Amino acid sequence: MISFDSLILKAFINQNKEFITGGRINKIQQPTRRELILSVRNSGQTRQFYINIDPKMYHVCFMSDESSKKRRIEIPQKPPMFCMLLRKYLQNSKIAKVNQPDGERILELFFETYNEIGDKIYLCLAVELMGKYSNVILYNTDTNMILGCAHNVGADKSQVREVYGQIPYTYPPEHSSKYFIEERYGFLKSINVNGIARPCRARNDMTCENVNSLIDNYYATLTYNAKFKALKSEYLTLTNQKLKKCKKSLNEMSLQLKRSENYDKFRLYGDLLMGNLYNLKDYTTEAKVFDYENNQGITIPLKDTKTVKENANDYYKKYNKGKTAGIKLSELIEENRQNKEYLESVLYSVEIAKNIDDLKEIEIMQYPPLEGGSKSLISGRGLTCIEKPDGARIYIGKNNKQNDYIISKLAGDEDLWFHTKDCPGSHVLLKSQNITDDLILECAKLAKENSKGANSSKIGVIYTKRKYLRKPPKANLGYVTYKNEKEIVID
């Protein structure tokens, strides 16, 4: 990544000095603790002055509408305290001067404003762009006292320089902010915009054509990529956690079901005791009877504090309890099995997501599922559609919302639905008036290519008509069951 150095800052100031000087602040916003947006109006034009003091992406620029969308800026409903402070002192104020201390990565905006009693005063907003020491500081130039800053730095955080309200403002130590560049190089560092290196030639006045656009586009792309990477990591972590929990529950319930499978012997014990009620003695520890079902003699344990009939009733109770538990466990196991398959498909969707919009469309289910299933809107935005010369159309969903949209909105009863067997993947739908073997084979290959088994040597693809699909009650988004399916093995 290219650092925002003092030479780039100087070129930016030289290019935009005319617009900045004399501009008025219409609006002040603080999306995050490391970002500020000042709406500057001058000469009938309003531009968004963007300040970023993130340790990895510190920079300033005038932000375009396109880069604003790329940065995914969200304004909080309740502004932070520092934002409120800036609004108090700088709202509607005029920028009297812009300055950069020699060789420093510091942008100084001097504001002409008025105090409570109407006297004209001058304030300075110092934007210090120095890696992890980056900060935005507002101070009174008459008294040199700090009014506030984005990050307070006390003695516990720094033994070199303290920064907080009501203490004098001082420049950072020279060694922490100077950025030495040999003049003989004669150029600014290249700025890579969308993968294209664009060297910016430096002249004696250190100006460069479109330096603001280069800064804006470059860092907007970096910001977008960083947010996409962080969001994807968050989705992967969340989905894997839910999947791990689901698998654990499934294993535990399967073990419980195996232990409860012996409940049928309690019915047999009850029947044998009731059948031999008058041949056995009450209040004994065991009963020896002949088991006609298995054609052998057995010994049934009894409680010596109860009669034979009472022991028989106890065994019937154990049988009914075990039977009920077995039915309930079977239902829960099936529900967790569906959840497991669903989460595996979600994990695949997250892994193949190419941008933030792809991730935002993915719905990670609540665990356990919400009553009544998902309430999210079904979306077909970004759905892949392949149109064939004969009028046939092939639709491919890349996440649970698109898969659900294919089944719920696009598919007709006679359309063919394709999916990899026992493998997470996309739903593929074929709409055609003339379904041929070649079309079926092409769709099966697309189902394999758009699945987790894309690199497998062989994988089964099932297909059936839409009318044979069913979405179970309370099922997760995009989950279906099927019947009357056929299978093709794709190499």
Q: Is 314 exposed, middle or buried (0-12, 13-18, 19+ CB in 10 A)?
A: middle
pTM above 0.85, yes or no: no
Calpha distance 222→205 (Å, rounded):
28
- Report percent pLDDT > 70 for the chain: 89
Phi, psi of 452, deg, nearest 5: -70, -15
Beta strands in 251-331 (DSSP E): 286-291, 296-301
Q: Is 429 exposed, middle or buried (0-12, 13-18, 19+ CB in 10 A)?
A: buried
Calpha distance 156→164 (Å, rounded):
13
Q: Which two tokens stand for residue 140?
A: 């009174």
Structure confidence at residue 380 (pLDDT): 57
Structure confidence at residue 476 (pLDDT): 81
Calpha distance 341→269 (Å, rounded):
40
Predicted confidence (pLDDT) at residue 38 exceeds the cutoff of 90:
yes
Report the side by side order of strands in the sheet with 146-149: 59-63, 45-52, 35-42, 24-29, 94-99, 106-114, 120-128, 135-140, 146-149
Q: Are 105 and 86 in contact (CB under 8 A)?
A: no
**In sequence order, which residues have a C-beta less than 8 Å from that of residue 401 and are 6 or more positions away?**
361, 362, 363, 376, 378, 379, 477, 478
Structure confidence at residue 170 (pLDDT): 92
Beta strands in 5-105 (DSSP E): 24-29, 35-42, 45-52, 59-63, 94-99
Residues 294-310, mean pLDDT to the nearest whole number: 91
Predicted confidence (pLDDT) at residue 430 exceeds the cutoff of 90:
yes
CA distances from 246 to 169, 350, 369, 371, 419 (A): 56, 18, 12, 18, 23
Q: Are 22 and 30 in contact (CB under 8 A)?
A: no
Structure confidence at residue 44 (pLDDT): 93
Structure confidence at residue 292 (pLDDT): 84
Q: Which two tokens stand for residue 187?
A: 């150029």
Phi-psi group of 373: left, alpha or beta (phi > 0 → left; psi -120 to 50 → alpha; rest → beta):
left
Q: Is 437 exposed, middle or buried (0-12, 13-18, 19+ CB in 10 A)?
A: exposed
Other Cβ atoms within 10 Å of 387 Cβ, number: 9
Name the CATH superfamily, with its identifier, for domain 6-209. Answer: ibrinogen binding protein from staphylococcus aureus domain (2.30.310.10)
Calpha distance 401→377 (Å, rounded):
8
Among 477, 232, 240, 236, CA closest to 358: 232
- Higher-confidence position of 327 and 35: 35
Calpha distance 251→215 (Å, rounded):
54
Q: Mean pLDDT in the chain?
A: 86
- Among the residues of 301-460, which ranges form H helices? 308-352, 356-361, 400-405, 437-449
Predicted confidence (pLDDT) at residue 373 exceeds the cutoff of 60:
no
pLDDT in tens, 385-396: 999 998 999 999
Predicted confidence (pLDDT) at residue 371 exceeds the cutoff of 50:
no
Give the pLDDT band of residue 196 (cuts 50, 70, 90).
very low
Q: Which two tokens stand for residue 58?
A: 């510190």
